[in-house]
Amino acid sequence: MTVQAIYAGGQHYRVSGGGYSPKGDITPVNDGTQAAPVLDETPPVLGDCLMAGILCNDSQLKQTGADWTVVGDPTEGALITVAEKAELSQVGLAAAKPRLDAIPFESDYQYMATLHDAEPRMIYVKGSVEALLSRCTQMLDAQGQAIGLDPAQIKQEVDAMAGQGLRVLAFAQKAAAMHQHAIDHEDIATDLVFLGLQGMIDPPRPEAIAAVHACQSAGIQVKMITGDHIATAQAIAQRMGIQSAAGVVAFTGQQLAQMNEQDMEQATAEGSVFARVAPAQKLQLVEALQAQGDIVAMTGDGVNDAPALKQADIGIAMGKGGTEVARESADMLLTDDNFASIEAAVEEGRTVYQNLRKAIAFLLPVNGGESMTILISALLARELPILSLQVLWLNMINSITMTVPLAFEPKSQGMMQQPPRNPNEPLLTPKLLRRILAVSVFNWILIFGLFEWARSTTGDVAVARTMAIQALVAARMIYLVSISQLGANIVQYLRGQTRAISPAPVLLLGIAVAIILQILFSQWSVMNTLFATAPLSWNQWLICLAPMLPMLPTALLVNQIDPPQAHSTGNH
């Protein structure tokens, strides 16, 4: 957060430098476009405006090596930094004008005030323009003399700053009685002297702008709720791309207060920016969105955000700058306070869910085919094509080597172009169940058929069982590729949709390990003894690989397990 523009005594000033480093200059702006030389001496009215910002302040700057950080609120840190650029020391001013009392900032009042011991004793106030202008009767001119206040002129200056995306704070002062040691809201209700405006900005991170666009492509609506001026909020929203098809639709807290329940729901659905919003209205906005069937994720860092964070389906508090109350009310913490991390988490969550469905789609048909084989063989009083110990091998060793790689599947290219999944959609959808049933039947036919054929031709039950198992594993490998990203990439390559096949080292490693284990399973005498298997000849191996061919069409036709069904009203 950095102060970039100041208006005091009818004069505009431009501030150079960035971050919390006190390196930079304050220069007057002539004709609204060109900057004059750096000031040799700070004008009295500019000094008073900066002094109000540095004294009416609960934060501090801290230097660690070459880095400057703020201990406290970032906005207050920016006020200290700009005052330091004018060679006003926070430590020196605090010693020269010690604080006697203070009114902390509250959202209901939208200002903070402090009382300082000086000649004369002075009350300094900082806050929103709306809160201070109504309490001011005079302002200081360029020579530091009190003159009549023109609210229209001040509002025009505020709109000009806010239109540049600057967050605008107003500053005022009032002389106090020499015997006064405490202040309350009544002391600053009237007769304040307007000192000036300071416009600051925290430039949006490029990754945050990209994250907003990614969320919108994924069917997630992004809405801004802020205490800033509506023009500031609109300018930032425009820069961030937080808008609907109709553009940046903004509402103020005052407008929301005059709406009934139906109008509120319509405003929350259409609006993308809500400015000058009271804490209670944040909660109302969340409730209005939920009433429309939306799933709401709410971010916040202050004490006043706690009710809305608690009400939201997913409350996300700032892990660095958030208050303890906000963190306790939230469901999760954003450790880096970066919106881009939310988009990355959504993408990662979708990937995990998709890989979970792939694992289910792989394991259930395999187990289904084995179960059908044993059940039908038992019902027909025929010899079992697979023994219980061999089933254990398939489930514990072979399935793991080929299922675990699915957990490391990379993100699909179109993951964040898909609409949000309907939360009421079951994990096993009808389409997935049909797929599981079809593959299970195929596996049963494969095991049962090859076992019966091999037993009748070789007369060796051990060989027949071994061939049935090896054929099942070979078909599994093709089926595994068909539901993986590698399979989808192969299909795109064959269709001319991509120029290269992306490598899948983890998946191929899993298949390679499975092949080695299966060779040992049938060709190693120790395994023959443990699992009642038999060595296979080259011809028998080729026969076992033949069932891979019927599985090839699956690899060519299937790109994903099941595309998500869009949630009818979308997510926020």
CATH 3.40.50.1370 fits 2-201, yes or no: no
Hey, what CATH topology would domain 206-337 get? Rossmann fold (3.40.50)
Q: What is the pLDDT of residue 367?
A: 80
What does the chain come to in residues?
572
Nearest to 221 by CA among 271, 288, 279: 271
173 close to 123: Cβ distance less than 8 angstroms: yes
Q: What is the pLDDT of residue 434?
A: 83
Q: Which residue has the tokens 């409350």?
A: 315
Q: What is the pLDDT of residue 289?
A: 92
Structure tokens at 495: 């269709």
Q: What is the pLDDT of residue 317?
A: 93
Q: What is the pLDDT of residue 553?
A: 63
Nearest to 362 by CA among 203, 483, 258: 483
Helix H or strand E segment including 467: helix 461-482
Q: What is the pLDDT of residue 14?
A: 92
Nearest to 165 by CA among 387, 314, 2, 398: 2
pTM: 0.70
527 close to 520: Cβ distance less than 8 angstroms: yes
Nearest to 277 by CA among 290, 267, 262: 267
Q: What is the pLDDT of residue 57?
A: 94
Contacts of 279 (CB under 8 A, 6+ apart): 107, 304, 305, 307, 308
Contacts of 352 (CB under 8 A, 6+ apart): none
Domain regions of the chain by residue span: 2-201, 206-337, 342-557
Q: Please give the average pLDDT of every successive group of 10 residues along the chain, which has 572 residues.
A: 92 89 88 58 90 94 86 91 93 93 89 92 94 93 90 92 90 92 93 95 84 90 88 88 84 91 89 89 92 91 89 91 87 89 90 86 82 82 85 84 82 80 83 82 84 89 92 86 77 70 82 92 92 92 81 52 47 56
Query: How do beta strands 314-318 and 332-334 pair?
Result: parallel
Q: What is the pLDDT of residue 13?
A: 93
- Dihedral (CA of 15, 16, 20, 21) sign: negative
Q: What is the pLDDT of residue 39?
A: 63
Q: What is the pLDDT of residue 552?
A: 63
Q: What is the pLDDT of residue 147?
A: 92
Distance separating alpha carbons of residues 110 and 327, to the nearest angstrom: 23
May I ask the CATH architecture of the domain 342-557? Answer: Up-down Bundle (1.20)
Distance separating alpha carbons of residues 422 and 484, to the nearest angstrom: 23
3-state SS, 92-130, equals HHHHHCCEEEEEEEECCCCEEEEEECCCCCEEEEEECHH
Q: What is the pLDDT of residue 534?
A: 93
Give bridge partners of residue 171 from the DSSP assignment: 126, 196
